[in-house]
Amino acid sequence: MVISRQLKEKGMRSFFFLIAFASVAILLAITIFLFREGIPIFNLVSVKDFLFGIYWYPTAEPPDFGIFPLIIASVSVTLLSACISIPLGVMTAIYLAEIAGPRTRELAKPIVELLAALPSVVIGFFGMVVVAPILQNTFNIPVGLNLFNASLMLAFMSIPTICSISEDAIYSVPNALREASLALGATHLETILRVVIPAAISGICTAVILGMSRAIGETMVVLMVAGGAAMMPSSIFDPVRPMPGSIAAEMAEAPFRGNHYYALFATGMVLFIFTLVFNLIADHMSHKYRQVGDATL
């Protein structure tokens, strides 16, 4: 009786252990299948030409598979959106964690969560039908679907990520630090800027990196509002074609297991590696630079 109970316990334990590895297994499977379908393109073009070639004409004859313009588009859209989302997200987090009263906080946190839940296709739709014409008229530009519009929409997709993670980090800074600072005669603002934020900085950085990782991988928004021209942008009002948008737009028409198909999978590989690196940095930071207090990131 006791033996069978112990056996059952062991069985349950190993069962749960196996299932807990599902996430790792899926991640591995994603890696394997991306590489399996993406690697064959490198029989045709070298890795260097693929990454740094500046012409992306996958359907021309002969085709050009250089994804440099797509990478530049992804990076510039992400950086520009970060210029908007980092200040807004972090300032909102500071407000919610340090300044707002409990009532405002209770009301505002769900709003941030709802903002995170807005489906990306709806944000993209909004950018197309509302923001694009406004941009076109205010700045007097030929197309409203461009780098700037995409960055704007992406910023509002990454703000919730940045805001809620940095809010957690700021909120979990121990109160003793604040009290000590105030006791020394610092104002509330000085306490926030010189004590609380430095104490929470690793959490805030993690938040920023995860937010940017979300922005660079976001698909529907860039597919719908970035304009779709696979060229090097020369101004922020130029249409661009970031990597996710390119994959989503062209996969349907790429012949199965043709070069175009392989090239799109290889683009997916590059995108996957980008976000993986972002996430590993974020993970490393939140573990290595454990913040003061009992933050759980």
Partner 1 sequence: MNSSRVETMNHFPAVEAEEERAMIKNSQPRLTDSLIRRRRFFQKVLFQLFRSAAGINGIVLLVVVFYLVYNGWSAITWTFLTQAPTQMMTKGGIFPCIVGTFLLGVGALTVAFPIGVASAIYINEYAHPGKVLRIIRLGISNLAGVPSVVFGLFGLAFFVIYLKMGVSLLAGALTLGAMSLPVIIGSSEEALKAVPNTYREASLALGATKWQTIWKVVLPSAFPGILTGGILGLSRAAGETAPIMFTAAVFFTPRLPQSVFDEVMALPYHIYVLATAGTEIEATRHLQYGTALVLIFLVLGLNLLAIIWRARLRKKMR
- Helix H, strand E, coil C: the string for 161-227 is HHHHHHHHHHHCCCHHHHHHHHHCCCCHHHHHHHHHHHHHHHHHHHHHHHHHHHHHHCCHHHHHHCE
Q: Kindly tell me which residue out of 24, 61, 138, 294 binds partner 1, with binding defined by CB under 8 A.
A: 24
CA separation for the pair 218, 77 (Å, rounded): 11
Q: Does 178 bind partner 1 (CB under 8 A)?
A: yes
Q: Does 289 bind partner 1 (CB under 8 A)?
A: no
Residues 142, 130 contacting (CB under 8 angstroms): no
Q: Does 220 bind partner 1 (CB under 8 A)?
A: yes
Cis peptide before 62 (omega within 30 of 0): yes
Nearer to partner 1, 61 or 256 (CB): 256
For partner 1, the binding residues in 49-78 under the rule CB under 8 A are none
Residues 285, 206 contacting (CB under 8 angstroms): yes
Eight-class DSSP state of 258: S
CA separation for the pair 3, 133 (Å, rounded): 73
CA separation for the pair 291, 137 (Å, rounded): 47
Cα–Cα distances (Å) from 263 to 64, 92, 214, 260, 274, in that order, read: 10, 41, 23, 5, 17
Q: Kindly tell me which residue out of 268, 285, 291, 295 binds partner 1, with binding defined by CB under 8 A.
A: 268
Q: What is the smallest separation between the CB atom of 48 and partner 1, expressed in angstroms?
A: 23
For partner 1, the binding residues in 222-241 under the rule CB under 8 A are 223-224
Q: Kindly tell me which residue out of 39, 54, 83, 114 binds partner 1, with binding defined by CB under 8 A.
A: 114
Q: Does 34 bind partner 1 (CB under 8 A)?
A: yes
Q: Is the dihedral of CA 218, 222, 223, 225 positive or negative?
A: positive
Q: Does 44 bind partner 1 (CB under 8 A)?
A: no
Q: Kindly tell me which residue out of 151, 219, 259, 291 binds partner 1, with binding defined by CB under 8 A.
A: 219
Q: Does 92 bind partner 1 (CB under 8 A)?
A: yes
Q: Kindly tell me which residue out of 41, 123, 173, 200 binds partner 1, with binding defined by CB under 8 A.
A: 123
For partner 1, the binding residues in 152-171 under the rule CB under 8 A are 156, 159-160, 163
Nearer to partner 1, 55 or 95 (CB): 95
Nearer to partner 1, 4 or 235 (CB): 4
Give the three-class secondary structure for 65. Answer: strand
Nearer to partner 1, 76 or 206 (CB): 206
